[in-house]
């Protein structure tokens, strides 16, 4: 049984200003997988895939995304066809992160962006993103930006191994947000960001991301050339790479 704030009808009503096709699944393996299939079948830029629950959600690398039925997570993927060179496709992911962060902040959910793809508050993970890009003949055919946000899950509903590192909107604010309404807020900001990208104003996206990135200025440990290096993150470059004070750059992909 789905949580009733999110359904095909609710999504179409909440996102009518977005004016793009929406597919809703009560259960699917991965919204990104469904979106990639749809994109390859010709779905236009802005098409949305949303699920109440996904059984095989993925994070960065080989990580999985925790999701259980009826816990009220916001799970969606957006198909984008930005006119960006492949080496700058991380700008689209930054735009997605900025849009999600702003929409949550407007609803009194304080948050920051953690490079490369996490949404955090008070040091705990509130949500995450996963982007998948298809390149044809040296050009970006599409990028699918998947987002998962822990909305209503309580602390004791997380697996024990995640309780110290993960959080949710209801844990942080005590509020039970309407997921379709939050998604609509994200899309309003994303529409603005996509207009900047289309106009070649990628510097605006990059600078906003820098301002909202919690990783810049932090000491981190990374593996470079087979050994662990301690360094301070000082910037994010135009390709989305994390620039360290050692002069090294960690790619976003």
**Element housing 129 (H / E):** strand 124-136
Q: Is the dihedral of CA 15, 20, 25, 29 positive or negative?
A: negative
* CA-CA-CA-CA dihedral for 39, 191, 25, 168, to nearest 10: 130
Mean pLDDT, the chain, rounded, equals 91
What pTM was estimated for this model as a whole? 0.92
Across residues 174-185, what is the average pLDDT?
Answer: 92
pLDDT in tens, 36-77: 999 999 999 999 999 999 998 665 556 666 666 667 899 999
Are 21 and 47 contacting, i.e. CB atoms less than 8 angstroms apart?
yes
Q: Would you say residue 1 has pLDDT above 50?
A: no
b vs e for 54-77, b when ≥16 Cβ sit within 10 Å of the residue's Cβ? beebbbeeeeebbbeeebbbbbbb
- Are the C-beta atoms of residues 235 and 243 closer than 8 Å to each other? yes
Q: Which residue reads 């470079």 in tokens? A: 224
Distance CA(103)–CA(183), nearest Å, equals 8
pLDDT tens per residue across span 23-38: 999 999 999 999 999 9
């Amino acid at each position: 049984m789905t949580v009733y704030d999110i359904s095909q009808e609710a999504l179409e009503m909440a996102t009518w200003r977005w004016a793009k096709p929406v597919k809703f699944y009560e259960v699917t393996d991965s919204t990104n997988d469904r979106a990639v299939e749809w994109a390859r079948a010709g779905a236009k830029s802005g098409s949305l895939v949303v699920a109440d629950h996904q059984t095989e959600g993925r994070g960065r690398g080989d990580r999985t995304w925790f999701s259980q039925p009826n816990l009220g997570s916001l799970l969606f993927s957006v198909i984008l066809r930005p006119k960006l060179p492949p080496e700058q496709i991380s700008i689209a992911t930054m735009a997605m992160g900025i849009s999600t962060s702003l929409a949550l902040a407007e609803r009194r959910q304080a948050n920051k962006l953690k490079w490369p793809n996490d949404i955090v508050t008070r040091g705990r993970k509130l949500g995450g993103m996963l982007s998948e890009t298809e390149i044809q003949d040296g050009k970006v055919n599409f990028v699918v930006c998947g987002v998962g946000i822990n909305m209503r899950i309580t602390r004791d509903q997380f697996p024990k191994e995640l309780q110290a590192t993960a959080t949710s909107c209801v844990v942080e604010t005590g509020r039970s947000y309407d997921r379709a309404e939050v998604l609509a807020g994200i899309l309003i900001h994303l529409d603005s960001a996509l207009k900047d990208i289309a106009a070649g104003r990628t510097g605006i996206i990059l600078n906003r991301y820098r301002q909202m990135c919690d990783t810049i200025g932090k000491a981190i440990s990374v593996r470079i050339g087979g050994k662990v290096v301690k360094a301070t993150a000082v910037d994010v470059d135009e390709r989305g790479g994390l620039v360290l004070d050692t002069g090294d750059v960690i790619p976003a992909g």
